[in-house]
Structure 1
Amino acid sequence: MQEKEWILKAQKGDGDAFCALIGQYENKIYNIAYKFMQNSFDAQDAAQDAIIKMYGSIRKFSFQSAFSTWMYRVVANTCLDLLRRRKPSVPVEEYSDAVVSREGNPAEQTENNELGRSIRAAVQELSEKYRMVLILKDMEGLKYEEVAEILSITPGTVKSRLFRAREKLRKILEEKQIV
């Protein structure tokens, strides 16, 4: 069955069609949530909340944009809502960051894990409007037009915010002597 058929059936209340549709995006939903939330526990909660929101509002999906664009918007907004309600906290240390692969130099991998954590922490210091653009464009690899549609801004605004976000991120990393 094609995506459009699943959407149309889900809009009529077919739970199986909705599950099949979301099954196609499950990993992407979690990955987006993880980039915003910075730990697996909060990412799982955010992903689940986003899926519940999508289920509740699938009838409103009007095919004006791609389903994936709508999905990105719901996940990003869900994560931002959760982050606004919470006090800033230090991300939970991920087990996967502590595991050293048998491939490569363990010291080098530890350094790479630390650098990755430092960069993710620096991204979290950016204001919401810069963080969203940076995550969607640089981390998720979306096109300027897709980011613009998700955030309801123009592609020109995406480009200028992305430029500023990268500059601010560079300054944060320099201040912390990470780069």
Structure 2
Amino acid sequence: MRRAKDGDERALQALCERHAPRVERLAKRLLDDPEDARDAAQDALAKLCVKLGQFRGEAAFSTWLHRLTVNACRDVVDRRGACRLVPLEYDARVAPEPSPAREAELAELRAGLRAGLAELPADQARVLVLKDVLGYSFRQISDASGMPVGTAKCYAHRARAGMRELLEEGAVA
């Protein structure tokens, strides 16, 4: 590690090769999509190469690399953002012939949900989407965001209560 930090290219390559399997396992554990996990692992290893000079040795190297990987996973989740949200569209098994009234109703509901999420504090909205839309566990949210599990649970509770209040008041839509 010291040789790599001092600019030895072969030592840096060996360091990346040695830690790549650990980084990939962590990314796969944090992200449900294998493609996203591969992207995050590559990002983390790229950051390792770029930011190795910033490693001060105050923590174990593996702890520092773990944080780089978690941050890379969070960046991937942030980048894909709304792309992974399942749109609220009619289900052909339930309503084989959608009516214009139903389509308008669903469009209004989608708009209300988007507006409600925009009204919530960003951290609460992010936890709500990760938990209730993407199906992440609180442990996965904690690992990806760096926040304690209890904080993630609290944010989810507050976000749900806030959305409920906004939707009931008709403040959004």
Counting only pairs closer than 5 Å after superposition, residues 123-138 of structure 1 correspond to structure 2 as 124-126=134-136, 131-133=140-142, 135=143
Q: Quote the residue 1:30 is aligned against.
A: 24
Query: Does the Cα contact within 8 Å between 1:124 and 1:131 map onto a contact in 2?
Result: no
Quick check: 1:46–1:78 contact (8 Å CA) kept in 2? Answer: yes
- Distance of 1:131 and 1:38 partners within structure 2: 10
The structure-2 alpha-carbon separation of the partners of 1:123 and 1:15, relative to structure 1 and needing over 3 Å to count, comes to farther
> Is residue 21 of structure 2 the alignment partner of residue 21 of structure 1?
no
2:98 corresponds to 1:89: no
Q: C-alpha displacement at 1:48, in angstroms?
A: 0.7
Give 4+ residue runs of structure 1 displaced > 6 Å after superposition: none
Matched residue, 2:55: 61
Give, as a single letter, the amino acid of the residue that structure 1 aligns with 2:29.
Answer: K
Mapped partners of 1:15, 1:122: distance in 2? 44
**Structure 1's 16 and 123: CA in aligned 2 closer, same or farther, altered over 3 A?**
farther
Counterpart residue number, 2:2: 8
The C-alpha deviation readout for 1:62-95, integer Å capped at 9, x for no partner, is 11001111011001101101111213428xxxxx
In 2, are the aligned partners of 1:130 and 1:161 still within 8 Å (CA)? no
Who is 1:105 aligned against?
none
* In 1: Cα distance, 2:6 partner to 2:84 partner: 41
Shift of 1:22: 2.2
Distance 1:89 1:72, change over 3 A: same
1:68 and 1:130 map into 2 onto residues whose CA distance is 20
Is the Cα–Cα contact under 8 Å of residues 139 and 149 in structure 2 kept in the other structure?
no
Task: Find the aligned partners of 1:9 and 1:75 in 2 and give their Cα distance.
Answer: 22
Match of 2:71 among 68, 71, 77: 77
- The aligned runs of 1:168-179 (5 Å cut-off) are none
- CA separation of 1:37/1:126 partners in 2, compared to 1, >3 Å: closer, same or farther? closer
Structure 2 unaligned runs (5+)? 86-130, 158-173
Report the 3-state secondary structure (helix = DSSP H, G, I; strand = E; otherwise coil) of the residue aligned with 1:125. coil
Counterpart secondary structure, 2:84: coil
TM-score, normalisation: structure 2: 0.52
Q: What TM-score does the superposition give when structure 1 sets the normalisation length?
A: 0.50
